[in-house]
Amino acid sequence: MPMRKLFVLWAILCMSSSCYSDRQAVNPVPFDRVELTGGFWEERMRTELDVTVPFSVEQSAPAVERFRRCADYLAGRSTELPEPHRFISSDLYKVMEGVAYSLMQERNPELEKFMDSTIHLIAASQLPDGYLYISHICGNPNVDEMGDRPYSWVVHSHELYNVGHLYEAAVAYYQATGKRNLLDVAIKNADHVNRVFFEGDPAYNGGKPVNQAPGHEEIELALCKLYRVTGNSKYLDMAKRFLDIRGVTYVPDGEGVMSPSYAQQHLPVREQRKPVGHAVRAAYLYTAMAQVDALTGRHDYEQALKSIWNNLVSTRMHITGGLGATEGIEGFGPEYYLPNKIAYNETCAAVANVFFNYGMFLAEKDAQYLDIAELSLFNNALAGISLGGNRFFYVNPLEADGRRKFNHGTGGRAEWFNCACCPPNISRLILQVAGYMYACSDDEIYLTLYGDSRTTIPLKGVM
């Protein structure tokens, strides 16, 4: 592979400050400062803007309706209660994150109206203390999946997973438009989570800090984004605390989805050496570990990450960059278990592999991570969406006969899924791809993903 590190080729000096953090050696140049100027990625972007984004907004109507009903319920207006659902809100948040990126590419009053009206419903569904999870707020949880009260079953409820995606959408919308409406919801929730999980809030868990890591990682990497955009170190501290209590304060005891390794809770994260369990959860966790290392400059997880990465790349990753060969757990099988026809390789896992490897690059400044990010992006993540932009793979085997219904009930691409994590995940990645093209330090510029593009990068160290 070509050496990517470009020593300073040019520097356009301007009055603004350089990259956003002094503590981090290398910072990505954010998507809102990079313009796609043609070629492959501009074509993908055009399809996103013309087809995928409006299509995804349409598909999100049931999730928006749940917020409308929740807001009505809280306001005392008569309404049908929203059906219990653990994570459909997260799919909407991912769609909203994608819409935010799209608005950077092209202003669209209709989409902005969709965002603001949906944000209004989300804000109206949030409790005054910041809590946000429809089924508990409306008092009709599926107790087996969600527990009988807030945060009583965080190993499966997805309460923190959902709000992690909320934070990502909020940061994107703020960056894209300067509007704080969703960011304020996110900050209110993050402050609430900090109180309940790490300080103690009389209204939750008998006033004792919950102090338990979520079963589905996501909030950790989202808190890193919240920290980047607010500059409030509380959120970076929260991300680190969630990482450091994982596999320490709570370890599930059972089989399958309750096995200790399924959600990477079998060991403290800094003692973990191999990728295990559900692949999307794992890769979101490793992404957060890499980001926290990069942002704190402490490298607490460096040994774990390097060992996990080496094992992943040499024994548990398909040639396409796909992760999670095993269908039952949507996760990693034994070393070298890499079947073609029955490979699972969830689209979200490939997307997460891009995030993980880009995070590793930012922490380590080593081009080998970008090579894997690129491999996974082009060969598995992008396969998750049709050229037309409105048909999707959840599952990405390397061989298909058109008869076996490998893709959650279909033998080819599907229009959408009951569990719709994948379509908005690949969509939001394409929409933010400009943010993966450049990185910089005080006196260096890195070209991290090739594509026709233009940016201005102010450097502190070059006159």
Q: Which stretch binds Zn ion (CB under 5 A): 104-112, 403-411, 414-422, 444-452?
A: 414-422
Q: Is 421 labeled as catalytic in the residue annotation?
A: yes
Considering the complex, state which of residue 133 and residue 393 has its C-beta at the smaller distance from Zn ion: 393
Considering the complex, state which of residue 111 and residue 421 has its C-beta at the smaller distance from Zn ion: 421
What is the rounded distance in angstroms from the CA atom of residue 326 to the CA atom of residue 196? 36
Q: Which residue matches tokens 């313009």?
A: 35
Total residues at interface with Zn ion (CB under 5 A): 4
Shortest Å distance, C-beta 258 to Zn ion? 21
What is the rounded distance in angstroms from the CA atom of residue 358 to the CA atom of residue 365? 10
What is the rounded distance in angstroms from the CA atom of residue 229 to the CA atom of residue 184? 12
Q: Which residue matches tokens 């398909």?
A: 318
Q: Which stretch binds Zn ion (CB under 5 A): 141-149, 405-413, 415-423, 438-446?
A: 415-423
Shortest Å distance, C-beta 422 to Zn ion? 4
Shortest Å distance, C-beta 436 to Zn ion? 20
Q: How many residues does the chain have?
A: 463
Half-sphere exposure (CA, 13 Å, Cβ side) for 462?
18
How many Cβ atoms sit within 10 Å of the Cβ of residue 398? 17
Considering the complex, state which of residue 19 and residue 160 has its C-beta at the smaller distance from Zn ion: 160
What is the rounded distance in angstroms from the CA atom of residue 121 to the CA atom of residue 92? 12
> Of all residues in this chain, which one has the CB nearest to Zn ion in the complex?
348
What is the rounded distance in angstroms from the CA atom of residue 82 to the CA atom of residue 374? 40
Shortest Å distance, C-beta 162 to Zn ion? 14
Question: If residue 445 lies in a helix (H) or strand (E), which one and from where to where?
Answer: strand 445-447
Shortest Å distance, C-beta 426 to Zn ion? 9
Which is nearest to 186 in space by CA: 148, 240, 130?
130
Question: If residue 455 lies in a helix (H) or strand (E), which one and from where to where?
Answer: strand 453-455
Shortest Å distance, C-beta 277 to Zn ion? 15
Shortest Å distance, C-beta 344 to Zn ion? 11
Q: Does 190 bind Zn ion (CB under 5 A)?
A: no
Contact indicator for 283, 356 with CB cutoff of 8 Å: yes
- Tokens standing for residue 435: 């943010």
Considering the complex, state which of residue 346 and residue 374 has its C-beta at the smaller distance from Zn ion: 346
Q: Kindly write down the DSSP assignment for every residue of 368-413, as one continuous string.
A: HHHHHHHHHIIIIIGGGB-TTSS-B-S---S---SSS-TBTTBSS-
What is the rounded distance in angstroms from the CA atom of residue 186 to the CA atom of residue 137? 17
Considering the complex, state which of residue 422 and residue 439 has its C-beta at the smaller distance from Zn ion: 422
Considering the complex, state which of residue 97 and residue 346 has its C-beta at the smaller distance from Zn ion: 346
Phi-psi region of 115 (alpha: psi -120 to 50; beta: other; left: phi over 0): alpha
Give the footprint of Zn ion on residues 310-369 (CB under 5 A).
346, 348
The pattern of x and - marking residues 368 through 407 that bind Zn ion according to CB under 5 A reads ----------------------------------------
Q: Does 426 bind Zn ion (CB under 5 A)?
A: no
Catalytic: which of 159, 218, 330, 374?
330
Contact indicator for 404, 411 with CB cutoff of 8 Å: yes
Q: Does 431 bind Zn ion (CB under 5 A)?
A: no
Q: Which stretch binds Zn ion (CB under 5 A): 7-15, 117-125, 236-244, 416-424?
A: 416-424
Q: Does 421 bind Zn ion (CB under 5 A)?
A: yes
Burial 193-222 (b: 16+ CB within 10 A, else e): bbbbbbeebeebbeeebbbbbbbbbbbbbb
Which is nearest to 339 in space by CA: 393, 398, 408, 276?
398
Question: If residue 28 lies in a helix (H) or strand (E), which one and from where to where?
Answer: strand 27-28
Burial 98-127 (b: 16+ CB within 10 A, else e): bbbbbbbbeebeebbebbeebbebbbebbb
Considering the complex, state which of residue 217 and residue 346 has its C-beta at the smaller distance from Zn ion: 346
Catalytic: which of 19, 70, 224, 421?
421
Q: Which stretch binds Zn ion (CB under 5 A): 93-101, 116-124, 419-427, 438-446?
A: 419-427
Considering the complex, state which of residue 35 and residue 145 has its C-beta at the smaller distance from Zn ion: 145
Shortest Å distance, C-beta 89 to Zn ion? 15
Considering the complex, state which of residue 296 and residue 347 has its C-beta at the smaller distance from Zn ion: 347
- For the chain, the C-alpha Rg in angstroms (whole number) is 21
Shortest Å distance, C-beta 50 to Zn ion? 24
Q: Does 422 bind Zn ion (CB under 5 A)?
A: yes
- The residues annotated with a catalytic role in the active site are 330, 421
Applying CB under 5 A, the residues found at the interface with Zn ion are 346, 348, 421-422
